Amino acid sequence: MGQVKKLQEEIIRLKREKDILILAHYYQRPEVQDIADFVGDSLELSREASTAAQGTILFCGVTFMAEIAKILSPQKTVLIPYPLAGCLLADMAHPQEVAEAKRSHPNAKVVAYVNTYAQVKALSDIICTSANAKMVMEKIPGEEIIFLPDRNLGAYHAKTLNKKVALWDGHCPVHQRITWEPIERVKKAHPQALIIVHPECPPEVTDRADFVGSTSQLVRFAEASDAQQFIVGTEEGTLHQMKKRAPEKTFLLPEPHPICDQMKMITLDRVYKSIKENIYQVEVDEEVRIQAGEAIRRMLSL
């Protein structure tokens, strides 16, 4: 533990010396979250990246998240501690497939979940996150939507919309593996616990949960609720912030614990190397950046 603390202190010293903003997603390792200037979900991190005063942003997350920072702040240097940290959900929407879907549905608006790469965002009409997907789907003009790439998130909100929604056949493998049976086992052992889950979970889970929300919404709900026990259906890194904000409460995970190995590729050692050597800069093609930026700003303007 002493070595971890020493490395954290050195990273904090370097970020202050070099005027670097460190952003971290909730799914990061606890020791990485603790050296960040801001920890949040995709929507919150997008906003922080767009308003950062620092000239350099170090993004502790997967590649598509760091791309957003570069798209919104092209004049800034954006670093990612491990450039091969990807997203299996984002991999499920290829630009060529999206272009073909647009040709097949010429009247449809493309609503792309933030878990997509820059080239896909550039082909989209607007971006959404799990926190604002319903609002974006409601407010975008037109009566037909192509929602990509997460079918569970799209389906969760589509059932309340008076629009035709074509769902992409993609999913987050981490959340897809959160099924009802293991949650039910935890519930039987802790009958007073509330079940709170991410909308990327399968319908069998979201339909039975006590609360469904984005990662930040789950954290805030657990903090504000009068309940003392929670069964959490999202990536296990989220529990670090829940425990910090409500240390007197109990947070439980179904087995096997939901872990994103891509997010866990970001380690303190890699953060230190990136910030010390100024390596692994994120770049986005300029034409793609402009088009993707328009779609992202349409979301932020809402």
Residue 256 has what pLDDT? 95
Q: What is the pTM of this model?
A: 0.95
Instruction: Report helix, strand or coil for 270.
Output: helix
Residue 1 has what pLDDT? 61
pLDDT tens, position by position, 90-144: 999 999 999 999 999 999 999 999 999 999 999 999 999 999 999 999 999 999 9
CA-based R_g, the chain, Å = 19
Q: What is the mean pLDDT of each run of 10 residues along the chain (302 residues)?
A: 92 96 97 97 83 93 94 93 97 97 96 97 97 96 97 96 96 98 98 98 98 96 98 98 98 97 98 97 97 94 86
Residue 47 has what pLDDT? 82
Residue 212 has what pLDDT? 98
Q: For the chain, first and last CA: distance in Å?
A: 44
d(CA 102, CA 207): 30
d(CA 199, CA 209): 10
Residue whose C-alpha is closest to residue 27's, from 281, 269, 265: 265
**Residue ranges of domains in the chain, CATH in brackets:** 2-86+263-283 (3.40.50.10800), 90-172+287-301 (3.40.50.10800), 178-252 (3.40.50.10800)
